[in-house]
Amino acid sequence: MKTGFTILLMTLILGLGGIKAQTSGSKDDNLIQFSGVVLDQDSLTPIPFVSIIIKGTNRGFLTNFNGFFSLILKPGDELEFHSVSHRNRSYKIADTLKQKYYYAIQVLTKDTFQLENVDVYPWPSREDFKRAFLALDLSESDADRASRNIESEAATYLERNQTASASENYKYVMQAYYTKIYTMGQQPSIDLLNPIKWAAFIDSWRKGKLSNKKKKN
């Protein structure tokens, strides 16, 4: 943070030096050049695009992306700093200044705006909602619409030609890898000796799920 702040001050000094050289030939002795940078109070980072207004006039300026500004003012002018995310601040230029170039660092404090709640309705009024609710058609379900939209021929084609996705292939390979590690140093497990598989087979056989029925023409 200190290194970044030092670089910012060096850039400010170099920029002010160049502006001072360009305006050294001014003939109006009543004007001063007021330059500086606007920083955030907490992080000391530059605040870009801060509005600077000379109070009582219609003259306004904006800070650049680095928070830098340079104005031509009269002694006694008052500046107002406005930022969307920070509190407004004012700065009074002393009317007893004798130097032609005046430098300052303006610090702004962050502010939080609490917006009012906004209720968004899909219908303009309660009467429109009532009419739309009463006209709602619930005669068919999502499953009915899905079965109507999917053609049987297209589904059959996908069943015959659809290949496994990358995620499915990854799960299959990893499952085989875990099985290999689990049985490392011993005989691989065989499902024929698995009592849970046999129980599931007998249950399916009793319920007739394994019966070979011929399709009627």
Q: Name the percent of the chain lying above pLDDT 70.
A: 77
* Cα 87 to Cα 108: distance, rounded to the nearest angstrom: 6
pLDDT of residue 100: 86
All structural domains of the chain, each given as residue ranges with its CATH number in brackets, are: 2-108 (2.60.40.1120)
Q: Is 186 or 58 the better-scoring residue by pLDDT?
A: 58
pLDDT at 209 over 80: no
Tens-place pLDDT, residues 157-205:
777 777 778 888 898 898 888 877 777 776 666 667 677 778 888 888 8
In angstroms, the Cα distances linking 132 to 11, 34, 90, 123, 124 are 64, 64, 55, 9, 11
The token duo for 51 is 């509005």
Torsion of CA 72, 74, 75, 81, to 10 degrees: -60
pLDDT of residue 217: 47
Place of tokens 């303006």: 106
Average pLDDT for 7-32 = 54
pLDDT of residue 53: 92
Measured from the Cβ of residue 73, the count of other Cβ atoms closer than 10 Å reads: 17
Rounded mean pLDDT of the chain?
Answer: 78
pLDDT at 7 over 80: no
pLDDT at 9 over 60: no
pTM strictly above 0.85: no
Tens-place pLDDT, residues 137-147:
777 777 777 77
* Cα 102 to Cα 208: distance, rounded to the nearest angstrom: 97
pLDDT at 11 over 80: no
Tens-place pLDDT, residues 99-119:
888 888 999 998 877 778 888
pLDDT at 21 over 50: no
